[in-house]
Structure 1
Amino acid sequence: MKKFFKYILLIIVLVIAYFAFTTYPKLDLVSGFSSKSVASHLFIANRSQAFTEAEDNNIPSIGLATNEVNLNGNYVLSNAFGIKERKALYREGLGAVLLPEDASEENLFKEIPFRNKTKSNLPFPYGNLAQKDTVFENVDYTLLKKSVHEAFVDKEEEIQKTRSVLVVYKDQIIAEEYADDFNKESVMLGWSMTKSITSAVLGVLEKQEKVQLEQTNLFPEWKDDERASVSLKNLLNMNSGLAWEEDYSIICDVTRMLFLTPDMSEIQKAKLLEGESNNSWNYSSGTTNLLSGFIRDQFNSQQEYLDFWYQELIDKIGMHSMILETDFTGNYVGSSYGWATTRDWAKFGLLYLHEGNWAGEQIINKSWVDFTKEPTQGSDGVYGGHFWLNAGEKFPDVPKDMYSCNGFQGQYVFIIPSKDLVVVRTGLKPNPDFNVNQFLRGIISSIQ
């Protein structure tokens, strides 16, 4: 009998050890994602805790966390199985930040970005007034409306999970639809569409002759090793050769960065080369946050860094709804945490459609936009300068010149120069669950 209990005790110990080794570290991901998501959706997007838990947090394991909202303190506490608690704190103008364990809120930076939200007395996209009624004879509006609406309709047991669609042709909104609970004022989390914002900020700096695509020796920490030869262009092409693992289901580089690291610009910087620069395409959110840190290095103060993104790009093109969230140390999380209305995401697409020009002002050089659309070596024509491409004809019924900002769960800004078209779709289902080729084919076919 004693042997039996010893075996039972041994099994219990082994189970606990196995749990501690394999599962416990993942609880940071569960409670961290949950608290950050609820806090951002509640305080930025004004969506209820219940809605966020049922929709945006309806991801394997994440939904198992319990969340406690403190409206007076502007924070959310999330607990994974009563074992691992994480706190996300909201600050006006900066969004929600996931606090590192044992971190004091007193250590948070105090600067807040200055915003100039002066409204222009012009119609969309250059202002906020209603557009003049414009009917294009070459647009089949019946087919267009049908194609857009089908993005929202569940069919053949396929749940579309679309939240918004906006179609802009020749600077005119020709179709716009929202799911229940959403409208043109709803701010949408772009996830990795934010990467393209980071690229654009670097484009502005290049236009101002403060950075160059081919420059190397990007960080003092790299000066004495082979990473000194990595160029800004290599980083924008995700082609640096730096080691990186991007798997959101496990504790790895990307999840450590988003849920465990106070300074998200540092984790990729510390990685060594495992491939050859310009010949090792590897999608890396760490690279984008490294670029956010590189942008920070171009300024003398935290305030200048925070202001620049808005003053020289975001507010300048009227994306007044946009909020960029920061990490604990004050870097914009350029890989993932940009919020804006569907119409404002469309304005960003229009900036690129017009080759960096906005209402007559050249904000980004045309050459930078051209670089953005050049296929990265080794990407099979699917990636450029922090934008996704159709150069490899991944979407066979869509023009090859289409390029896009893409985000987790199916956030898209599609730019199609040959059709003078920008299409925005937000939702909770990505390609192929949401059929991008079919969606765009229907819209394009409605325009002769």
Structure 2
Amino acid sequence: MFSGVFITLRFECIAIAGRDIYLEEKNTKSFMILYNGRIVREDYFNGHSKTASWYWASAGKTLTTAVSGIAQEEGLININNKVSDYLGTGWTSVSTDKENLITCKHLLSMNSGLDDSLGDDVSPANLQYVADAGTRWAYHNVYVKVQDVVAAASNQTWDNYFNTKLKEKIGMTGLWTDLSDLSVFWSNTRSMARFGLMISAKGTWKNTQIVPEAFLNEATNTSQDINKAYGYLWWLNGKSSYHLPQSQLQFNGELIPNAPADMYAALGKNDQKIHIVPSKKLVIIRMGDAGDGENFAVSTFDNDLWEKLNALIK
């Protein structure tokens, strides 16, 4: 364990260590380190600013996870129930018996069994069978149907439920926008940090439980038997193997070897990141363009960044 004073002084030496240059050269727009709930480093690069918004990309999937936990706590949904209980049959193009195998938990765990090769469109015609739910892990935009489940169960729009149950309660700004077939959240960096802090505090904000702690414990642990490094839309470090988007291969070893084993992360296209490390009381935020070539979630930038952080964190 290290003291807050020590870690603050270490992070104030980042520029001397050359990391400011590294971040700027790696197309970073904003970077923030929070220790024990406090900002110890906040930087903006490449024309970005404290008030400017940027897209979360797939890092925003974890917002859907959080709201699902809230809706379940309120008795509106049960993630173990089949999706068709809320949306009716015919929300996919697969047979009714196969469709009824798919639960909300399968969507949150990315093992619905639906074809991930057909793009991001989640209309019924584009949701086709590959395998029984629970038997195949594949990174798929179909998780957004959980938003439809919450909207149907709460009898209001997803935006309204999200705003009143999560965004406004922790003082976030930002909004959802539709880009092609994707629903993407945009906000400033501090709003992303607020969400990361709330999650790191076991779902609490100013002594108020926002997301149930027990649900978060599930969400940030292995959710299925195929990809050990995946919870409910959260990526998990420290596991013995992992899968990556657009691949059915299993890779042995940790997801991000240079990062602490207990780290879990919200990861989005082109290196949008929330890294949470309970053992070190750290939340790390990064927004920007791709640091090392276009990517969908995990990239080499994660591991390179932690190599540099490890030189500062003792």
Q: TM-score range by the shorter chain?
A: 0.7 to 0.9
**Structure 1 runs (4+) greater than 4 angstroms displaced:** 430-434
For residues 347-402 of structure 1, the C-alpha deviation after alignment (integer angstroms, 9 at most, x for no partner) is 11111101111111111111111111122435543321011121331211211211
Q: Please report how far the alpha carbon of residue 143 of structure 1 lies from its aligned counterpart in structure 2 after TM superposition.
A: 4.2
Query: Where in structure 1 are there 5+ consecutive unaligned residues?
Result: 1-133, 155-159, 246-251, 258-263
Checking the alignment, whether the CA contact within 8 Å between 1:408 and 1:430 is kept in structure 2 is: no
**Paired residue secondary structure (2:39):** strand
Q: Which residue of 2 aligns with 1:290?
A: 145
Q: Please report how far the alpha carbon of residue 142 of structure 1 lies from its aligned counterpart in structure 2 after TM superposition.
A: 4.5
Checking the alignment, whether the CA contact within 8 Å between 1:165 and 1:176 is kept in structure 2 is: yes
Q: Does residue 341 in structure 1 map to residue 188 in structure 2?
A: yes
| Structure 1 letter corresponding to 2:47 | D
1:278 to 134, 147, 155: 134
Larger Rg: 1
Checking the alignment, whether the CA contact within 8 Å between 1:195 and 1:336 is kept in structure 2 is: no
Cα distance between partner residues in 2 of 1:309 and 1:143: 39
Checking the alignment, whether the CA contact within 8 Å between 1:279 and 1:377 is kept in structure 2 is: no
TM-score (norm 1): 0.59
Q: Which residue of 2 aligns with 1:325?
A: 177
Q: How does 1:143-162 map to 2 (within 5 A)?
A: 143-145=13-15, 146=17, 148-154=19-25, 160-162=26-28
Q: Which residue of 1 aligns with 2:37?
A: 171
Q: Please report how far the alpha carbon of residue 272 of structure 1 lies from its aligned counterpart in structure 2 after TM superposition.
A: 3.8
Q: How many percent identity over aligned positions? A: 23
Q: Which residue of 2 aligns with 1:308?
A: 161
For residues 4-39 of structure 1, the C-alpha deviation after alignment (integer angstroms, 9 at most, x for no partner) is xxxxxxxxxxxxxxxxxxxxxxxxxxxxxxxxxxxx
Q: Which residue of 1 aligns with 2:204?
A: 357
Q: Please report how far the alpha carbon of residue 446 of structure 1 lies from its aligned counterpart in structure 2 after TM superposition.
A: 2.0
Instruction: From the superposition, tell whether residues 151 and 327 of structure 1 become closer, same or farther in structure 2 (CA, over 3 Å).
Output: closer
How big is the alpha-carbon RMSD for the aligned residues of Structure 1 and Structure 2?
2.5
Instruction: From the superposition, tell whether residues 161 and 323 of structure 1 become closer, same or farther in structure 2 (CA, over 3 Å).
Output: same
For residues 210-258 of structure 1, the C-alpha deviation after alignment (integer angstroms, 9 at most, x for no partner) is 112211243321594222122111110001112222xxxxxx432xx2x
Q: Which residue of 2 aligns with 1:34?
A: none
Instruction: From the superposition, tell whether residues 368 and 431 of structure 1 become closer, same or farther in structure 2 (CA, over 3 Å).
Output: farther
1:375 to 207, 218, 222: 222
Cα distance between partner residues in 2 of 1:395 and 1:284: 22
Checking the alignment, whether the CA contact within 8 Å between 1:242 and 1:275 is kept in structure 2 is: yes
Cα distance between partner residues in 1 of 2:101 and 2:38: 45
Q: Which residue of 1 aligns with 2:154?
A: 299
**Paired residue secondary structure (2:145):** helix
Greater RCO, CA 8 A, separation 6+: 2
| Structure 2 letter corresponding to 1:323 | L
Cα distance between partner residues in 2 of 1:181 and 1:213: 42
| Structure 1 letter corresponding to 2:5 | F
TM-score (norm 2): 0.82
Cα distance between partner residues in 1 of 2:23 and 2:34: 18
| Structure 2 letter corresponding to 1:220 | G
Instruction: From the superposition, tell whether residues 379 and 171 of structure 1 become closer, same or farther in structure 2 (CA, over 3 Å).
Output: same
Give the number of aligned pairs. Answer: 285
Q: How does 1:6-155 map to 2 (within 5 A)?
A: 136-139=5-8, 140-145=10-15, 146=17, 148-154=19-25
Checking the alignment, whether the CA contact within 8 Å between 2:98 and 2:132 is kept in structure 1 is: no
Q: Which residue of 2 aligns with 1:384?
A: 231
**Paired residue secondary structure (1:292):** helix
2:66 to 200, 222, 227: 200
Checking the alignment, whether the CA contact within 8 Å between 2:258 and 2:307 is kept in structure 1 is: yes
